[in-house]
Amino acid sequence: MKVLEGIYQLITPFPQYTLAEAKQLRRELEERPRVTKGLPYVLPYLIKGGGETILVDCGWNTEEAYRALAEGMREHGSAPEEVTKLVVTHVHPDHYGMAGRLKQVSDCEVILHERDAEVIKARYMAPRHLTEEMARFMRQHGVPELKAPAMSQGSLGMLGHVAPVPPDRAVTGGEVIKAGDFEFQIIWTPGHSPGHICLYEPNRKVLFTGDHILPTITPNVSIHAQNQGNPLGDYMRSLEVVRKLDVEYVLPAHEFDTRELKRRIEEIHNHHLARLEEMYRCIDRGGSTAWEVASRVQWTTGRLDEFEPFMQRAAVGETLAHLEYLFEMGRVAKVMRDGVLYWLPV
Ligand SMILES: [Zn+2]
Ligand SMILES: [Zn+2]
């Protein structure tokens, strides 16, 4: 689909969907947004100009997704072999999975943020150690003994759908990528991932938002074994960074493109403020673990104990991100009891 001259939206399905299903859902979701069981597709973008063929994100490394990418590129007179640059907004498998394969067929320059480059090895090349680390992490946050092993194994299955490759260029934000008369500024937007980047073209007023801003889904912002610190604080600051930009076309990696950047930022901002209050109310006077708080708050997708292990982990991570933010605000304290971390209202 042409966004404007030289910029095209492609679509690659998630492993459990076919391309036809993904295309159908793409149309349906734009007309009537709703929560689907797992994300159905990724929206990579093709940029052509000045002899460059640039992809922003790609998709999972499956045959169906690769075929979808090739088909989409062909519709716009291009092919995977011709890619000169692959810009990855962040190294989550749905955005980065096919990077190694694209590198192989095109010898493109793979560009991503240095903070995300740091986790490629641990996450995709030597994940065993990571699994143990995660299991320890789960126990520390009060996840019941029975659930912890399944939850830390939760994402190993996706490794078969990722062809990892180190970046040719690790960026930090502020760099400019030129293609004809396009000038794409790399904007570092940590939060959803420590090295998440957006791409901004000020003359055309185009913003590629990756997973930083999606039209109806609130991107997951989590603390996990590899993402400590205060990611929600980072995320809220990153919202302010893009709020200042003059944008007409918002091009996200999921759902559908939109024109409503500022309204959406306001919604997401308010969502997190409300969520912070809700989580705060779920903390016992005497202290609660992240698992206990996560069991008490409302989730749009159901109840925590009915979630798949992978989703339980995301929910605990999301809860922790909010608790840590409350801690930074001085509203809660942390105390360790027998190796388990408890949060207390101040
Ligand atoms: Zn993501
Ligand atoms: Zn994503």
Instruction: Determine, yes or no, domain membership for 316.
Output: no
Distance 89 CA to ligand 1 centre (A): 9
Instruction: Determine, yes or no, domain membership for 331.
Output: no
Distance 214 CA to ligand 2 centre (A): 10
d(CA 71, CA 67): 6
Instruction: Determine, yes or no, domain membership for 48.
Output: yes
Q: Kind of pairing, strands 332-337 and 7-9?
A: unpaired
Distance 220 CA to ligand 1 centre (A): 8
Distance 246 CA to ligand 2 centre (A): 24
Distance 92 CA to ligand 1 centre (A): 5
Instruction: Determine, yes or no, domain membership for 285.
Output: no
CATH number of 78's domain: 3.60.15.10
Residue 89 contacts residue 116 (beta carbons within 8 Å)? no
Could you read off the pLDDT tens digit of each residue along the chain, which spans 346 residues?
999 999 999 999 999 999 999 999 999 988 888 877 778 999 999 999 999 999 999 999 999 999 999 999 999 999 999 999 999 999 999 999 999 999 999 999 999 999 999 989 888 887 677 778 888 888 999 998 767 777 766 566 677 899 999 999 999 999 999 999 999 999 999 999 999 999 999 999 999 999 999 999 999 999 987 778 999 999 999 999 999 999 999 999 999 999 999 999 999 999 999 999 999 999 999 999 999 999 999 998 888 988 888 888 889 999 999 999 999 999 999 999 999 999 999 9
The count of structural domains within the chain is 1
Instruction: Determine, yes or no, domain membership for 342.
Output: no
Range of the domain at 70: 2-127+157-271
Angle between helices 309-328 and 127-140 (to 10 degrees): 60
What is the reported pLDDT for 155?
A: 63
What is the reported pLDDT for 34?
A: 80
Instruction: Determine, yes or no, domain membership for 90.
Output: yes
End-to-end CA, the chain: 52
> Hunting for tokens 């930022």 — which residue is that?
265
Instruction: Determine, yes or no, domain membership for 87.
Output: yes
31 to 27, 208, 237, 276: CA distances (angstroms): 7, 21, 31, 31
What is the reported pLDDT for 262?
A: 97
Strands (E) located in the chain: 2-4, 7-9, 12-13, 41-42, 45-49, 52-56, 85-87, 109-113, 169-171, 176-179, 182-188, 197-201, 206-210, 249-252, 332-337, 340-345
What is the reported pLDDT for 147?
A: 74
φ, ψ of residue 279 to 5 degrees: the values are -65, -40
The protein residues having their C-beta less than 5 angstroms from ligand 1 (an ion) are 92, 211
- Ligand nearest to the backbone CA of 94: 2
170 to 109, 110, 117, 183: CA distances (angstroms): 10, 8, 7, 18
Instruction: Determine, yes or no, domain membership for 296.
Output: no
Distance 122 CA to ligand 2 centre (A): 19
Distance 82 CA to ligand 1 centre (A): 26
Q: What number is the ipTM of this complex?
A: 0.99
Distance 89 CA to ligand 2 centre (A): 9
